[in-house]
Structures are given as C-alpha cells and as structure tokens.
Amino acid sequence: MSTASEFFIMARGEQMPTIEILVPCYNEEAVLEKFYERVSKVLDGINGCEFRYIFVNDGSTDGTLELMRELRRRDERVHYVGLSRNFGKEAAMIAGLDHVEGDAVIIMDADLQDPPELVPEMIDWWRRGYKDVSAKRRSRDGESWFKKWSSHTYYKLLQRMTDFPIQIDVGDFRLLDRQCVEALKMMREAQRYTKGMFSWIGFEKKELLFDRSARAAGRTKWNYWKLFNLALEGITSFTMIPLRFASFLGCILSTAAMLYMIFVVIKTLLYGDEVQGYPSLISVILFIGGVQLLFLGIIGEYLGRIFNESKRRPLYLISELDGKTVIKQCVIRNS
C-alpha cells in the first residue's frame, strides 16, 4: 500500500474505504460481461480500497438482468437492483444512489465509452480531498459533428442561463464522495436532470480530461428526440429565463403595438381612412399570434412540471433486489 493510501485510511479510520461502481443498464446484454471484466481488471490493481458493484436494470427487454444474476453468483461484490419497468436513466441513477453504502461511488455507463482506466486517477484526487471528481470529454469518437456541436453549444447556453456554474462537456462519469451522494438523495423531483444537479450541489470539484471512445458493443439508446427532451428538462429545471424572456418580449410587443396604434390614429385623422396595408396587418397578427402560442407552450412546460410533482409518485419501483423479490417498496418521495 502506498504512503498516500495509508494516510488516507488513517484519516478516515482503520477500515479501508469502500468505493461502489454504479452502472445503470438498459439492454446492455452485448457489452455487460466485457464491461465487468475490464473494470475488474482495473480495480484489482488498486490498493487501499474495497470495491462493490451496483448494477441497475432499467427494465431491459434482453438478457441484461440474467447477466446481472450470473455476475452476482460469481462475485459477492456484485449487487443489482431490478426496476419494474423502464423508468429512464435519470431514475435508474437515483435508484442506485439510494442503495449506496460505501464512502464514495463512481457512476459509469456499461458501454465502455467511459474508460475504466481513469478510475485510479479519480480515486487519487478523491484522496486529496475533492468530493466530486468528474471526467471531461476532450474528444468524442463515434458521434457526428452536429451532435458534438449541439451538445457543446447547449452546455454553453445553459451556463449563461443559470445562476450557478454548469460544467461543460461533462457527463455522468464521475466519482462522488458520500457527502455528495447524500445531497443528491435529498433531491426527489420527478423530472430529473442529474447533470445539472451535480453542479447545483457544489462541493470541491475536479475535472479530468479524457477521450471518449465509441461504444464497445450494442446500440446507443439516445436519439435526437430524447436528447432534445433531456435538454428541455435541463433548462426548465434550473432556470426561469424562458418565462422572463416571454415577459420581456411581451412588453416589447405590447409597446410596439401601442405605438403602431397611435400612428394609425394620427394618420387617419390627417389623411383619412384608406383600406391599405392588409398584407402587413395580417403579417403582424400572425406574428403576434405565433409568439403568444410560443409563450403558452413555455408556460405549459413549467405548469406540466408542477402537475407531475404534485402527484408525488415514487421515482421508481423495484421488482428484484439481489435475487430477492421486493414486495414492499421502501423508497418514497420526500414530504
């Protein structure tokens, strides 16, 4: 054991710290075994820590759950949570975080786009006192130019719209101290944008650059429509700017309409009433009508969030936990 590891253990007590690997999975049968072998190889070379896996089966329709059961039989460090249906990655992550018992957790995707070889460096920075050690994408193989550009632009826009710093080009691949985990577990909103939550909770952060590889196997579950919805979740979850912009633009249009009305009245008094300007009048009416519908849509997005939160349904339901059927759900929404 290295000197740094010994000092870290002394600071936390005699017992070695436990780090858990949280892996949300949806139809990852093609890559899950390869993921486990590659990660285990990396973890076996790390001294001074104990490791534990938490796989979350997010309602997979292939053999992902059976693979988790097999890994559980082979390795006592492996634990898994089987959700009753597909609740989405955001819900799967909070389901895993609710079952974290160790000193820290590392969130990883099963597709091996998150290189396990970065884990030792993450742990090293955690030992130095950082609470949130994240991996920042330097390059992204296997993705189109438009997807890379739109993702970077979106994070830049979100950073300008929020009143707290948003991490750019940083995904879910990160190490979180138990303090961060407990903070995230307090946030029980139904429509979740975890990437924003990571930034919102604060704590000491460290970013590590890495080159994101293409998927090792299988197909991505994220199409442009799902990415657009996720981006909309981020904007409506952490900023009121769209509503304020609607109010601001509404004031401008109202002022412009008032000035135009005064102009029409004065023109009529001076030159008489002539039936002219019909195309321009229709254009103005259609433009203002379109803006009104846009604003109603923005208000509807926020109103829909209030409606979903008011139902206070659980974020997820568990059907199986480490091979045991779950009858009574113990995870509920905060009052």
Q: What is the pLDDT of residues 106-149, one digit of tens each?
A: 998 888 888 888 889 889 888 888 888 888 877 655 555 566 66
Q: How far apart are CA 270 and CA 288, in angstroms?
A: 28
Residue 116 backbone zone (phi > 0: left; psi -120 to 50: alpha; other: beta): alpha
The whole-number pLDDT of residue 316 equals 87
Selection from 59-68, 217-226, 324-333 with the highest mean pLDDT:
59-68
Dist. CA 217–CA 25, nearest whole Å: 13
- CA dist 197 → 41, 127, 183, 233, 234 (Å): 31, 23, 9, 12, 9
Q: What was the pLDDT predicted at 155?
A: 65
pLDDT of residue 204: 83
Beta bridge partners of residue 174, listed in sequence order? 107, 134
Residue 23 reports pLDDT greater than 70: yes
Q: Can you tell me the distance from the alpha carbon of 173 to that of 205, in angstroms, rounded to the nearest whole number?
A: 13
Q: What is the tens place of the pLDDT at every residue in 211-220? A: 766 554 545 5
Q: What is the C-alpha separation between 58 and 325, in angstroms, rounded?
A: 16
pLDDT above 80 for 103: yes
231-271 confidence digits (pLDDT tens): 666 566 666 666 666 666 666 766 676 676 677 667 666 66
Rg from Cα positions in the chain: 25
Q: Check residue 213 and give its pLDDT.
A: 62
| pLDDT band, very low/low/confident/very high, at 174 (cuts 50, 70, 90) | confident
Q: What is the pLDDT of residue 304?
A: 72
Tell me the C-alpha to C-alpha distance, in Å, between residue 200 and each of 174, 187, 209. 15, 11, 21
pLDDT tens for each residue of 45-95: 888 888 999 999 988 888 888 899 989 988 888 899 989 888 888 888 898
pLDDT above 50: residue 205: yes
Q: Output the six-digit token pair for 32.
A: 């899950």
Residue with the bigger pLDDT between 130 and 291: it is 130
CA-CA distance, 137 to 170, in Å (whole number)? 6
Residues in the chain: 335
Integer Cα distance of 327 and 169 in angstroms: 40
Distance of alpha carbon 316 from alpha carbon 188, whole angstroms: 11
- Is it the case that residue 41 has pLDDT exceeding 80? yes
Percentage of the chain surpassing pLDDT 90? 6
Tell whether the model's pLDDT for residue 307 goes beyond 80: no
Of residues 180 and 283, more confidently modeled: 180
- In angstroms, how far is the first alpha carbon of the chain from the final one? 45
Residue 298 pLDDT > 90, yes or no?
Answer: no
Inform me whether the pLDDT recorded for 10 exceeds 50: no
pLDDT of 56 reads: 92
SS (H, E, C) the chain: CCHHHHHHHHHHCCCCCEEEEEEEECCCCCCHHHHHHHHHHHHCCCCCCEEEEEEEECCCCCCHHHHHHHHHHHCCCEEEEEECCCCCHHHHHHHHHCCCCCCEEEECCCCCCCCHHHHHHHHHHHHCCCCEEEEEEEEECCCCHHHHHHHHHHHHHHHHHCCCCCCCCEEEEEEEEHHHHHHHHCCCCCCCCHHHHHHHCCCCEEEEEEEECCCCCCCCCCCHHHHHHHHHHHHHHHCCHHHHHHHHHHHHHHHHHHHHHHHHHHHHHHHCCCCCCHHHHHHHHHHHHHHHHHHHHHHHHHHHHHHHHHHCCCCCCEEEECCEECCCCCCCCCC
Looking at residue 53, what is its pLDDT?
Answer: 92
Give the pLDDT score at 170: 77
Confidence category of residue 9, pLDDT binned at 50, 70, 90: very low
Strands 18-25, 318-321: pairing kind = unpaired
What is the mean predicted confidence (pLDDT) over 14-34? 86
Phi, psi values for residue 72, rounded to 5°: -65, -40
pLDDT above 70 coverage of the chain, percent: 62
What average pLDDT does the structure give for the chain? 75
Q: Looking at the predicted structure, is the pLDDT value of residue 287 above 50? A: yes
Q: What are phi and psi of 285, to 5 degrees?
A: -60, -45
Residue 309, pLDDT above cutoff 80 = no
